[in-house]
Amino acid sequence: MKNKTEIIRKRYDRAAKYYDAIENMMEKKWFSQWRKLLFSYVKGPKVLEVGVGTGKNMPYYNQDWEIVAIDFSPKMLEKAKERSAKLNLQVDLKLMDVQNLEFADNSFDTVVTACVFCSVPDPILGLKEIRRVLKGDGLLVMLEHVRSKKEPIGKIMDILNPLVVGLYGANINRNTVENVKKAGFEIVEEKNLLSDIVKLIVAKPIK
């Protein structure tokens, strides 16, 4: 798994300088409104963003929150630091892997992710780590793309997945809702945003 993590890290480091430009059209058409919806579910004061990337969620941060934002790609984190400086945000940016979080148990009120768990090599391990650092009454709030249950779309995603992973490091056929359940969460809300491929997922730890 360590080698796999390093491979994906290098792919995101390589993509960092043109990442925003590639996704600019999708950001304007869909993602900006989805991010706004995502952050409407986030409760403070202690918030962890996993997979901050280039910092595209930062405009939706509440300045009253105590925010820690992590990413496992140094190059992505550099872009996030540039964005946080431009926005004059108080955010603690850390180089860290969700599969091995360096936080104490029960540290955060909300953990938020946006298009992250397509890339985590061991998604259930990462989700279990999130569960560990969440408070007992905390929330996991996710914006994620997943495998469609509609056929033949799902099967096409399965066929294309090795190509996409090889080019970009992201899986397009993950069943993230089931992975969240397997990691010890109860689904509070599951909302389809683009067919059944892009979802808003809200979950809480099972006590």
Assess whether pLDDT exceeds 70 at residue 147.
Answer: yes
Residue 131 vs residues 58, 70, 161, 190: alpha-carbon distances, Å: 23, 16, 28, 18
Lowest mean pLDDT among 26-35, 40-49, 95-104, 182-191: 26-35
First to last CA, the chain: 29
Q: What is the reported pLDDT for 117?
A: 96
Please tell me which residue, 13 or 199, carries the higher pLDDT value.
199
**pLDDT at site 21:** 58
Contact 77, 53 (CB under 8 A): no
What pLDDT score does 24 carry? Answer: 63
Ranking 23-27, 32-36, 115-119 by mean pLDDT, the lowest is 23-27
The average pLDDT across 42-46 equals 96
* Cα→Cα distances 32→19, 25, 72, 96, Å: 15, 10, 23, 25
Separation between Cα atoms, residue 199 and residue 177, nearest integer Å: 9
Closest by CA to 173, choosing from 150, 142, 200, 141, is: 150
Q: Where are the domains of the chain?
A: 2-205
Instruction: Compute the mean pLDDT over every residue in the chain, rounded to the nearest whole number.
Output: 92
Q: Is 196 helix (H, G, I), strand (E, B) or coil?
A: coil
Residue 191: pLDDT above 90? yes
Contact between residue 147 and residue 172 where contact means Cβ atoms under 8 Å apart: yes
Residues 6+ apart with CB under 8 A from 163: none
pLDDT of residue 108: 98
Q: What is the pTM of this model?
A: 0.92
Q: Is pLDDT at 1 greater than 70 in this prediction?
A: no
pLDDT for the residue 28: 72
Q: Cα(138)–Cα(30) distance, rounded to whole angstroms?
A: 27
For the domain 2-205, what is the CATH superfamily, name and number? Answer: Vaccinia Virus protein VP39 (3.40.50.150)
Q: Is the pLDDT of residue 18 over 90?
A: no
What is the distance between the alpha carbons of residues 118 and 169, in angstroms, rounded to a whole number? Answer: 8
Express each pLDDT in 59-90 by its tens digit: 999 999 999 999 999 999 999 999 999 999 99
Mean pLDDT of 154-158: 97
Q: Is 112 helix (H, G, I), strand (E, B) or coil?
A: strand
Does pLDDT of 20 surpass 80? no
Q: Does the pLDDT at position 16 exceed 70?
A: no
The encoded tokens of residue 76 equal: 């992505």
